[in-house]
Amino acid sequence: MPESRPAYYVTTPIYYVNDRPHIGHAYCTILADVLRRYHSMFGCETFFLTGVDEHGQKVEEAAKKRGLTPQQHCDEMQAHFRDLWPTLDISNDDFIRTTEPRHERVVKQALQQLFDSGDIYKGEYEGFYSQRVEKFFTEDELIDGKCPETGGEVQRIVEANYFFRMSRYQQRLIDHINANPDFIRPESRKNEVLGFLRKPLQDLCISRPKSRLSWGIELPFDSDYVTYVWFDALLNYVSVIGLFHDDPRFRKWWAVSTHLIGKDILTTHSVYWTTMLFALGLDMPRHIIAHGWWLVDNTKMSKSLGNVINPLAMRDKYGVDSLRYFLMREMVVGLDSDFSEESFLKRHNFELANDLGNLANRLVGFAAKQMGGVIPAPGTGSGHAADAEVMAMAAELPARVRGHVESLRVETAIETVMNFVRRLNRYVAETEPFKVIKTDPAAAGGAVYIALEGLRIALNLLWPVMPKKVENLLGALGGNSVVGYFDDLKWGGLVPGTALNLPEPPFPRFELPEFETRPAEAPAKADKAVADRANAAGGAKAEKAAGSQPSDGSSGAVASEHATFDDFLKIKLLVGTVLTAEPVPGSDKLLKLSVDLGEPAPRQIVAGIGDRFPVEKVPGSQVTVVANLKPRKVFGIMSEGMILAATDENGLSLIAPSGTPRKPGTRVG
RNA sequence: GGCGAAGUAGCUCAGUUGGUCAGAGCAGGCGGCUCAUAUCCGCCGUGUCGGGGGUUCAAAUCCCUCCUUCGCCA
């Protein structure tokens, strides 16, 4: 047996080639990169895979629209992802495109194997086809026998198709999830999957006749069909690492695989993919980790709301390292987080500039002035009790960081390091080398050495998060480089006498723009008299009274009875024209509306008016829409606004402009 | 409607298996230092741990119930 190192294999989803990268893609890929880099520092041999999904109807359509072949279209579009990653310091080992021969042959072989074993069978797919949206619907999805999206006519079509016997593996999957508590993380997602599995699984239709979709991988046993997207896409995780072609390589990586996914593709990975693997006689991946979404103003990003965060813009404005730091520091893996430039800048200024950057800058600046610009000799330290404390903290820091990373608490790992950085700043204040230098240069040198060495260790531990910046900084600290392994991160790596060279502060502060005036500031600054009176009265109570001046009219018990004019202005009321309306299945009064608000795309709005208002009378009506309500799901359908209506015992009327119809998007108020 | 998760200081959130768990950061106030990026360090928080009930010697931490928010339901 050759010497074996532990291994670690991490994947991102393959992103849909038609998409433009947004902050969510960047987050997932950076997270994968950070995990890969940490694990390599833990001593693991690592493999990191990302890529793009290139097949499917939408790609075919988009290409057609542009007058290109689908392949030409993909060749062009995939660059949006492939070229982005190096600029975010992503260290992926491979980049898979599902149109590559190395992938297609594995998909075909997998299909053939499942066909031969009877897990893929030909059956009848009964669907209802809507000419208008060129889509199939199941009987359950139809609404009164009409298309659920347009309310239009549908044709019942019985079409031969191939099915995967997913149902056969349901119990095995449930058992595996129960036996491996950290298989699907976080736990709430695991529960979600188990809940889903309480109902019997249907078999999965995995083919499309070429007459309807030709842009896909042909079934090896029936050239009239291509395989449908998921079956193709999911296999990327194993095709790249050698399934069917390089067994030792495949086994090595597959046994240690971690899939990072967005919560929107949880079922696909936890149910479709896992049952496919069972059927193929392969092991489960080690972990499936569903991360959360970046929200903007606590609202999901969407094109129609125009609030999509472009990672390139953030990188260009603030630098790749700050961007990576923020994304990793701010989000708890598995939960949603809010993205705002304000919180970004606060993290940058407080943690990177004030704490970390300033520590480097003050130490190097001091050494340059007082110590000949070189790393001083450690001697016997500063003679201060804090020496031992700092060195003990530094000694146990790698293990603590490793523990947090291994339990996916990346943000806690970072926080742990930053707490140590704060301890180092305190250490400098305690030992006061800038004073001590006048009386005891050796002790001052000892203090600076300890602080610098602590900084070196902290920087190494942050390398996976900010590789470029850390490498540069370590270079500035006496020409050091990143240690390969946590095990090598021992105290005393800095060589006394080597030159320090930090020409400028490593993390310049960014000016914080005025984001919004804070009510708390008003009494302190604008109303000194109130504050003084409060202080004179003494105690926390008085302070509280001063602090609760309802300067914006929205806080304080007194104001709660009335809405102020400002409150009213927060509600954006717009005139809209209803384009389509259809009942929501399973509900007796909800209607799904498509409403023109004069925006590029119509809004989808779910309204509870169906029991009082005939659905066929709604299209064409004008309505008043609350346009800036936070979008929410109603009965599983996203609703992007609210329709105003008045209901009493005589029925319901829509609240809308009377007389001449108004242009969609006209402001009401 | 079914299933699941969450509700902790002004803000963002930590709080393993019930017993220094009532905390951190930010914001605010006061003070100190000057090596440093108007940076750093120290001090200052009586918040019904969503409401109510229960179990226990002991609950933010377990149980019940209600309210609110969020997620999933191919």
pLDDT digits (tens, 9 = 90+) for A20-67: 888 889 999 999 999 999 999 999 999 999 999 999 888 999 999 999
Q: Minimum mean pLDDT among A60-69, A81-90, A489-498, A633-642: which range?
A: A633-642
Q: Does domain A521-549+564-668 have CATH number 2.40.50.140?
A: yes
| Residue A507: burial class (beta carbons within 10 Å; 0-12, 13-18, 19+) | buried
The amino acid that residue A500 corresponds to is: L
Residue A255 has pLDDT above 80, yes or no: yes
Q: Where are the domains of chain A?
A: 340-488, 521-549+564-668
Beta strands A218-219 and A222-227, pairing class: antiparallel
pLDDT at res. A575 = 74
Tens of pLDDT, residues A142-166:
767 777 666 677 788 888 999 999 9
pLDDT at res. A242 = 95
Predicted confidence band of residue A182 (pLDDT cuts 50, 70, 90): confident
| Residue A295: burial class (beta carbons within 10 Å; 0-12, 13-18, 19+) | middle
Tens of pLDDT, residues A293-323:
887 766 677 666 677 777 788 888 899 999 9
| Residue A202: burial class (beta carbons within 10 Å; 0-12, 13-18, 19+) | exposed
**Closest nt to residue A367, judged CA to C1':** B35
Question: Which fold is adopted by the domain A340-488?
Answer: Isoleucyl-tRNA Synthetase; Domain 1 (1.10.730)
Which pTM was predicted?
A: 0.78
**Closest nt to residue A508, judged CA to C1':** B37
DSSP helix/strand/coil, A481: coil
The distance (Å) linking the CA of A539 with the C1' of B30 is 14
Looking at per-residue pLDDT, the higher value among A587 and A367 belongs to A367
Residue A558 has pLDDT above 70, yes or no: no
Specify which residue's alpha carbon is closest to the C1' of nucleotide B27. A520
Record the tokens describing residue A264, joined without a space: 């929107």
Which residue is it, tokens 């997602």? A189
Does the CB of A265 fall within 7 Å of any strand B atom? Answer: no
Specify which residue's alpha carbon is closest to the C1' of nucleotide B46. A540
Q: Residue count of chain A, please give it.
A: 669
Q: Which residue from A334, A297, A330 is spatially nearest to A631, judged by alpha carbons?
A: A297
The rounded mean pLDDT for chain A is 81
Tens of pLDDT, residues A406-419:
888 888 889 889 99
User: CA-CA distance, A257 to A251, in Å (whole number)?
Assistant: 10
Residue A266 has pLDDT above 70, yes or no: yes
Predicted confidence band of residue A606 (pLDDT cuts 50, 70, 90): low
pLDDT at res. A639 = 59
The distance (Å) linking the CA of A250 with the C1' of B51 is 56
pLDDT at res. A57 = 86
Nucleic strand B contact set for A 407-446 (CB, < 7 Å): 422, 425-426, 428-429, 432, 434-435
pLDDT at res. A368 = 92
Record the tokens describing residue A253, joined without a space: 């990586």
Which residue is it, tokens 């999911």? A234
The distance (Å) linking the CA of A335 with the C1' of B12 is 14
Nucleic strand B contact set for A 525-554 (CB, < 7 Å): 539-540
DSSP helix/strand/coil, A626: strand
User: CA-CA distance, A233 to A347, in Å (whole number)?
Assistant: 37
User: CA-CA distance, A432 to A659, in Å (whole number)?
Assistant: 79
Q: How many CB atoms lie within 10 A of CB A592?
A: 26
Predicted confidence band of residue A340 (pLDDT cuts 50, 70, 90): confident
Nucleic strand B contact set for A 13-72 (CB, < 7 Å): none
DSSP for A411-448, please give it: HHHHHHHHHHHHHHHHHHHHH-HHHHTTT-HHHHHHHH
The distance (Å) linking the CA of A509 with the C1' of B20 is 39
**Closest nt to residue A637, judged CA to C1':** B73
Does the CB of A102 fall within 7 Å of any strand B atom? Answer: no
**Closest nt to residue A166, judged CA to C1':** B74
User: CA-CA distance, A446 to A382, in Å (whole number)?
Assistant: 5
Q: Which nucleotides of B are covered by protein (CB under 7 A)?
A: 1-5, 10, 12-14, 25-29, 32-42, 45-46, 69-74
Bridge partners (DSSP) of residue A337 are A294
The distance (Å) linking the CA of A486 with the C1' of B41 is 31
HSE at residue A300, side-chain half, CA atoms within 13 A, is 12
Tens of pLDDT, residues A97-133:
999 999 999 999 999 999 999 999 999 888 787 776 6
User: CA-CA distance, A283 to A280, in Å (whole number)?
Assistant: 9
Number of H helices, E strands in chain A: 26, 26
Q: Minimum mean pLDDT among A115-119, A506-510, A663-667: which range?
A: A663-667
Nucleic strand B contact set for A 200-259 (CB, < 7 Å): 200-202
